[in-house]
Amino acid sequence: MILRREFITLLGSAAAWPLAARAQQDTRMRRIGVLMPFDENEPVAKTYVSAFTQALAGLGWTEGRNVRMDLWWAGDDIDRIRALAHELVGLQPDIIVTAGAPATAAVQRETRTIPIVFRIVADPVAIGLVPNLNRPGGNTTGFAGLEPSLGGKWLELLSEIAPGLKRAAIMFNPDFPAPSTFMPSVETAARSLKVELIPASVHSDVEIEAAIIALGREPQGGLVVMPDIFMTAHRAPIISAAARNNVPAVYYRSEFARDGGLLSYGPDLVDNWRRAASYVDRILRGAKPGDLPVQFPVKYEMVLNRKTAKALGLEVPLSILVRADEVIE
């Protein structure tokens, strides 16, 4: 069954009215479609939605007054993402906001005229979403989620928090493009650190479990989880299997560490969603998406789960403790 839910914006305080006046020059009701590759009940996704709608309200776009927003939940199923992209474009909204490369590519296949503002895309040029970062042209622009150089950074952090690391499994789902984006920097770091890389291609919780069990059979192994919507959706079994098999792991999003994973390092994605509202605002006021440069994250965060480190028998080095933005005891 295809689900569509309308956003409910709770911000209507008097403090917002001066800013709302900015939109009074055009009283047409605008329609914004948002395609989310998350489950409808995913708390993290709801946090992103809230940040985005609050930022829009601050720019003068209020649900029911001058904008109608439709939110489509696709989960991590590629076929469902494509089906919802087709239906969403059929509604002919004024602008479409996407999260992740698969959702963006699916919408782009359906329209080359409706403006698209993407979110959380690792390398939009490499995967063909835009030809140029500074002047993307066409109907697509947005906010990249992760820089390719982060792949090496994750492996370096894993080696730092787990001294003596000899082997590192690189876990990914081959249906998503993330590994090709990050692997060059991972391989460079592996050569420098003298760490053997082990590809761990997974499509299901069963395969996640099997890969981590195999990794945990020998000492001095660790895990780097590649960024994609499949991994985010399946973070609970990944975290659980790593704990049960005594495997230290580094992740790309703070939710992993807050949910029990060892260590995460990546951009502040809530901030990225807030910034995306600025492009939606500019496009609704007449800017062309192709003239707006693709932007990269400006805020990064490291989250350490010290409780998990203790359970794994790891002594967290001071170098990580002093850099952590959040430490979970």
Q: Tokens at residue 234, please?
A: 């399946």
Same domain, 263 and 273: no
Same domain, 183 and 104: no
One domain for residues 232 and 282: no
Report helix, strand or coil for 248: coil
Predicted confidence (pLDDT) per residue in 134-188, tens digit? 999 999 999 987 888 999 999 999 999 999 999 999 999 988 766 778 999 999 9
* Percent of the chain residues past pLDDT 70, beyond the cut: 91
State the virtual CA torsion across 106, 112, 113, 117 in degrees, nearest 10.
Answer: 50
Residues 179 and 311 in one domain: yes
**How big, in percent rounded to 5, are the helix, strand and coil portions of the chain?**
45, 20, 35
d(CA 200, CA 20): 50
> What is the helix (H) or strand (E) element at residue 18, kind and residue range?
helix 17-20
Strand ranges across the sheet with 140-144: 5-6, 67-73, 30-36, 95-99, 116-121, 140-144
Is pTM beyond 0.95 here? no
HSE of 175, CA atoms in CB hemisphere, 13 A: 14
189 and 316 in a single domain? The answer is yes
The 10s digit of each residue's pLDDT in 273-285 is: 999 999 999 999 9
> Are 47 and 97 in the same domain?
yes
Residues 19 and 131 in one domain: yes
Q: What's the CATH number where 23 sits?
A: 3.40.50.2300
**Are 165 and 85 members of one domain?**
no
| pLDDT score, position 13 | 39
pLDDT at 8 over 70: no
Which domain, by its residues, includes 256?
150-267+301-328
311 lies in the same domain as 183: yes
Kindly write down the DSSP assignment for every residue of 60-125, as one continuous string: T--BTTTEEEEEEE-TT-HHHHHHHHHHHHHT--SEEEEESHHHHHHHHHH-SSS-EEEEEES-TT
Average pLDDT on 54-71 reads 94
Same domain for 134 and 37: yes
pLDDT score of 147: 82
pLDDT, position 123: 83
Mean pLDDT score across all residues of the chain: 90
pLDDT at position 126 is 84
109 and 183 share one domain: no
Q: How many domains does the chain have?
A: 2
Per-residue pLDDT at 69 exceeds 60: yes
Q: So what's the pLDDT on residue 240?
A: 98
Q: Do residue 223 and residue 257 come from a single domain?
A: yes
